Amino acid sequence: MKKLLLIILLLHFFTNIKAQDWATHYEQSDFKKTPSYAETLDYCKRLDAASPMAALISIGTSPQGKEIPMMIVDRDGLKDPVSIREKGRVITLIQACIHPGEPDGKDAAIILLRDMLINNKHRDLLEKSSILFIPIVNVDGHERFGPYNRINQNGPEEMGWRTNAQNLNLNRDFLKADAGEMQQWLKIYSTWLPEFFIDIHTTDGADFQYALTYDIEVFGTLDSGITRWLSNIYEPRITAKMKENGFPIFPYVQFRNWHDPRSGLRTGAAPPMISQGYAALQNRPALLIETHMLKDYKTRVDATIQMLTHTLFIINHQADNLKTLVEMADKSTAAPAFRKQPHPVSWNTSKTDSTMVDFYGFDYQVLKSDLTGGDWFVYDNTRPMVMKLPFFNKSLPETTVLLPEAYIIPAEWAEVINRMKLHGIKMDILTEPAEITVKSYKFKDYEFRRTPNEGRQMVKTGLTDTEETRAFPVGSVIVKTNQRTAKVIAAILEPAASGSYVEWGFFNAVFEQKEYSETYVMEKMAREMLEKSPELRKEFEALKSEPDFISNQWNILNWFYSKTPYWDQQFLKYPVGKIYDGQVLNQLRKISAPL
């Protein structure tokens, strides 16, 4: 009996030692701290060494030279997407710390993986699904560590900074891919093409009861079959399971009037510059997790662990269905029928169509500030209340286009071509020069943003449709739309698309007039032009009613200059052409090769 008791005590002792050995930095701090980059990397290396199911790799380096780690977790220890999919499994990508001031997902996912790999918990979640985990996407921003990086946030004691070392917000960079970190992320994403993507954040905003809100693309940007799966299977199941665990959840929303829940709630299609909007273009569902910044850190991490666990359970249970839906979406996007229907490239949320919902908020007052004169929202979190609020969540297409058979990008726009490669887009390159008739656009009524955004000077422009014969040099690239990335192609190359490369400023040089006339030359020439052309005189007389035009000598004479053969015929022309004629495309096949 004494020996048995001794054995039990020893087992208990060694079990406690083992548990302490694998306690995370977050757990050891009484749930108040998040580990540094070095501590996080060290813990992931230990998991890799301890379990044959785990592998730690680097997806690249940051601008400051730090490795960006990614863990691969597969029940058989497989380490590449082909081998994993040959086993019939789907792949889930979980990422944290793209905003390193919001580290909840890093600590939550590390605990979940530790429990899987070391404590033999949740192993069933790996039956039909393998996991990729990037604990810190923005490693340079993570190491700008301090207690004062998030003024609205309740813990941890110290955290990283929102942007990378170049002051770029990586969660605005998925489509344009200016940051080195994002370029390397896109290579991994295009290689693995995960069937499900989870991006974990902490929100700013008003005070309310939910410890966690979420966003999924069910607003029209994602394939209809996957959208129905999210709406009819994933969303009701995850909502029910989280409520069972004491964490009621609600879609991630903004208020119609900032900080004022009673004004109503709104949400809509995410733009492709952010994670869930980008995944939708790739025909993949994504989950945005937004824990609530005013809840304590332990509550937020606990809610994230539950959200991850239940999501992985649903994915594992629905793996075959999800895999089929993704494959069908890819085939549908590449099919000819996709190019025969108007394709939305920008969206608006309806301002009139809403439904009434229950929202778990707190009572609050709106006071007139005697300091600033503005509205001061004072929340009372001792007075929870269920608010009946209008929810505006119907997205409507704002701009649609008919996709061509192919786009053609002149060779000189190499930066655009290189970015498109990162997105997994297949292209062909001209091996001989070609002169072909294309449709395109001419810019008009354009306006540049007054201040930089993400290091770029953005532009909003009107468009006029054009058709002409253009010469394309060797090295120009043909981008066919009969591929699964057709939505990504349109988002990049259609100027009216939300977050297009025109809007982000990749083509800003086209908006610059490079040749000018001297006033003393044009004063004489303008008079001669008016003498010769009654139509020109009539057009000029009509312009005299515009004060900004008629009061400026340079504007007047530059207008006359634009009517001469000396005018730059390339000014304000979009360089990218659109090919709708299949015969033209067949001709180009003879003088092109895969890029």
Same domain, 290 and 410: no
- Residue pair 491/401 in contact (Cβ under 8 Å)? The answer is no
Same domain, 326 and 446: no
CA distance 459 to 447: 6
What pLDDT score was predicted for residue 17? 47
Same domain, 544 and 575: no
Per the rule left: phi > 0, alpha: psi between -120 and 50, beta: everything else, 97 is left
CA distance 346 to 270: 10
Same domain, 408 and 491: yes
Burial classification of residue 81, based on how many CB atoms lie within 10 Å of its CB (0-12 exposed, 13-18 middle, 19 or more buried): middle
What pLDDT score was predicted for residue 205? 77
Same domain, 554 and 475: no
Q: For the chain, how many structural domains are there in total?
A: 4
- Does 11 fall in a domain? no
- The per-type count for the chain, helices as H runs and strands as E runs, is 19, 21
Structure tokens at 182: 């994002």
Same domain, 243 and 312: yes
pTM higher than 0.75, yes or no?
yes
- Does 97 fall in a domain? yes
Same domain, 544 and 428: no
Same domain, 431 and 528: no
Same domain, 38 and 70: yes
Domain that holds residue 227: 25-334
The domain that contains 103 carries what CATH number?
A: 3.40.630.10
Domain boundary pick from 334, 363, 385 = 334
399-436: burial string, b at 16+ Cβ within 10 Å, e else: bebebbbbbbbbeebeebbebbbbbbbbbbbbeeebeb
Who's near 20: CB < 8 A, 6+ residues apart? none
- Cβ–Cβ contacts within 10 Å for residue 223, how many? 21
Same domain, 189 and 87: yes
What pLDDT score was predicted for residue 206? 83
Tell me the pLDDT of the chain (595 aa) as tens digits: 556 555 555 455 444 446 569 999 999 999 999 999 999 999 999 999 999 999 999 999 999 999 999 999 999 999 999 999 999 999 999 999 999 999 999 999 999 999 999 999 999 999 999 999 999 999 999 999 999 999 999 999 999 999 999 999 999 999 999 999 999 999 999 999 999 999 999 998 789 999 999 999 999 999 999 999 999 999 999 999 999 999 999 999 999 998 899 999 999 999 999 999 999 999 999 999 999 999 999 999 999 999 999 999 999 999 999 999 999 999 999 999 999 999 999 999 999 999 999 999 999 999 999 999 999 999 999 999 999 999 999 999 999 999 999 999 999 999 999 999 999 999 999 999 999 999 999 999 999 999 999 999 999 999 999 999 999 999 999 999 999 999 999 999 999 999 999 999 999 999 999 999 999 999 999 999 999 999 999 999 999 999 999 999 999 999 999 999 999 999 999 999 999 999 999 999 999 999 9
Taking every pair of Cα atoms in the chain, the longest distance, rounded to a whole number of angstroms, is: 120
